[in-house]
Amino acid sequence: MMRAARVSEHGGVERIEFVEVPKPVPGPGEVRVLVRASGLNHLDTWVRRGVPGHRFPLPLILGSDGAGLVDAVGDGVRRVEPGQDVVLLPGVSCGVCPACLEGLDNLCPDYSILGEARDGTCAEFVVVPEANVAPKPANLGYVEAAAVPLVFQTAWSMLIRRAELRPGETVLIHAGGSGVGSAAVQIARLFGARVIATAGTPEKCQHALDLGADHAIDYTATEDFAKDVRALVGRAGVDVVFEHVGAVTFAGSMKCLARGGRLVTCGATTGGQVEISLHQVFFKNLSILGNTMGRKADLLRILQLVEAGRLRPVLSQTLPLAALREAHTLLESRAVFGKLVVEP
């Protein structure tokens, strides 16, 4: 048996259950990992609360990110062995469909995310396909390593794959204090972009600047962030907007875009229903791009950059797994800069 945190019914933080469940057994091609740390994401809160029109396979163990020690392997596993320190790659795909064979595994028809469509990392053990573990960067502990995968993979896919960010371009990154926002600031700087970040407090703005943002706007201290952005970049606007806030910021984000600009979004924490002027889209040759997760190959490259010190996880706080309800409350209150991690 093992300890785990799961959800059997959608609702508030009281719906998080701390249970004893059978220890999973790795099948052919699978790896069992002794979880040493589990990183949290806003996805965890959506799974717990439920999303209208989407069905989660409850009961479900929460958690998409994790790092730990290989405990056992199934038949046919050759690349890893018990005792190896690993990072868990959160996106699971079939590996044999045309999308997977082209390296577009996040477009696999059977794509799933740990803690969202199959049991996740908020447990003592988790079983995943061999393709979903990678060596832990030697310069990181388990807690720091668990803060890397989902947000960096998503931010990389949004900026580099979907928006095709180029050196010298200007990018507006919303919620630069969030996990995915703090990753995006670093990636944009790594690729030579000018970065404008928004954040909800002066302290978070300073943190964003410390990560490499050229400018930071406290959205709680302004009536019109788009006007503030225009004051920084002029009438031309920004080349890319990194969106994941949704209804509250979407209209302003569109106003910020330059001709030929690209808005890329991976989420809608303030709501997904927005209004779009098609005249604005076609007169200015704008692109609106969606993104979920990213390619495993890109995450492997990201882990190399982390090990080389070019990118770094931003850790806000570490809590015990028993405090997972408190951790969800902190995430939902936006009282976090970077990532929350829990230790079983």
Q: Domains of the chain: which residue ranges? A: 2-148+313-343, 152-290
> What is the amino acid identity at position 309?
G
pLDDT tens for 224-268 read: 999 999 999 998 999 999 999 999 999 999 999 999 999 999 999
pLDDT for residue 294: 97
Question: What topology does CATH give the domain 2-148+313-343?
Answer: Quinone Oxidoreductase; Chain A, domain 1 (3.90.180)
d(CA 242, CA 197): 9
Burial class (CB in 10 A: 0-12, 13-18, 19+), 343: middle
The answer as to CATH 3.40.640.10 being correct for domain 152-290 is no
Residue burial 97-110, b: 16+ Cβ < 10 Å; e: rest = bebbeeebbbbbee
> Strand, helix or coil at 282?
helix
d(CA 210, CA 195): 12
* Secondary structure element (H or E) that encloses residue 188, with its range: helix 179-190
* Secondary structure element (H or E) that encloses residue 228, with its range: helix 225-233
d(CA 194, CA 185): 10
Considering only CA atoms, which of 49, 286, 332, 305 is closest in space to residue 152?
Answer: 305
pLDDT tens for 166-194 read: 999 999 999 999 999 999 999 999 999 99
DSSP track, 9-23: S-SSGGGEEEEEEPP
pTM of the model: 0.96
Strand partners, 17: 6
* Secondary structure element (H or E) that encloses residue 307, with its range: helix 296-307
Strand partners, 240: 171, 262
Contact criterion met (CB below 8 Å) for 199 and 207: yes
Contact criterion met (CB below 8 Å) for 253 and 219: no
Q: Mean pLDDT over all residues of the chain?
A: 96
Strand partners, 19: 4
Residue 3: is its pLDDT beyond 90?
yes
| Gap between the terminal Cα atoms of the chain | 14
* Sheet-wide strand order for 257-265: 215-218, 194-199, 170-173, 238-243, 257-265, 287-290
pLDDT for residue 49: 96
pLDDT tens for 85-96 read: 999 999 999 999
Instruction: Using a pLDDT cut of 70, give the percent of the chain over it.
Output: 100
Band (110; pLDDT cuts 50, 70, 90): very high
